[in-house]
Amino acid sequence: MDSNRQPTQTPDPPPPSLPAHARLTLNRCNLPAVILGSLTYQHHPVDLELDGIAPLHTPLLRNLDAIPGHRARARHFQDYMRWRFLLDLPEEAGLTRGRRGRAKADYQRMVRGWSFDSDGREGAVLKRWVESRFGLLARHHAGPLHGRGSETYLRYVAAGTQGLYATNALESQLDLLYTYGQYELGRRAPADTHLRLYRGINRIDEHEVLERVGRHRYRVLLNNLNSFTSERERADEFGDYILETEVPRPKVFFYNRLLPDLLKGEDEYVVIGGVYEVRISVL
Q: In this predicted structure, which of 22-36, 95-109, 189-203, 242-256 has the lowest mean pLDDT?
A: 95-109
For the cut 60, the answer to whether the pLDDT of residue 161 exceeds it is: yes
Whole-number average pLDDT of the chain: 90
Residue 9 reports pLDDT greater than 90 = no
End-to-end CA distance of the chain: 56
For position 238, what pLDDT does the model report?
A: 84
Last residue of a domain, one of 136, 164, 188: 188
Q: How distant, in Å, are the alpha carbons of 15, 62, 254 from that of 180?
A: 32, 12, 9
Could you tell me the residue range of the domain that residue 68 belongs to?
20-188
Residue range 230-253: average pLDDT? 93
Residues 262 and 122 in one domain: no
Q: What is the mean pLDDT of residues 40-48?
A: 97
Q: How confident is the model at residue 142 (pLDDT cuts 50, 70, 90)?
A: very high
Burial class (CB in 10 A: 0-12, 13-18, 19+), 1: exposed
The residue among 100 and 263 whose pLDDT is bigger is: 263
Whether 257 is covered by a domain: the verdict is: yes
Write down which residue in 129, 163, 188 finishes a domain.
188
Query: Are 137 and 242 found together in one domain?
Result: no
184 and 50 within one domain: yes
Give residue 76's pLDDT.
97
Is 15 contained in some domain? Answer: no
Asked if residue 173 and residue 51 are part of one domain, the reply reads yes
Total of domains in the chain: 2
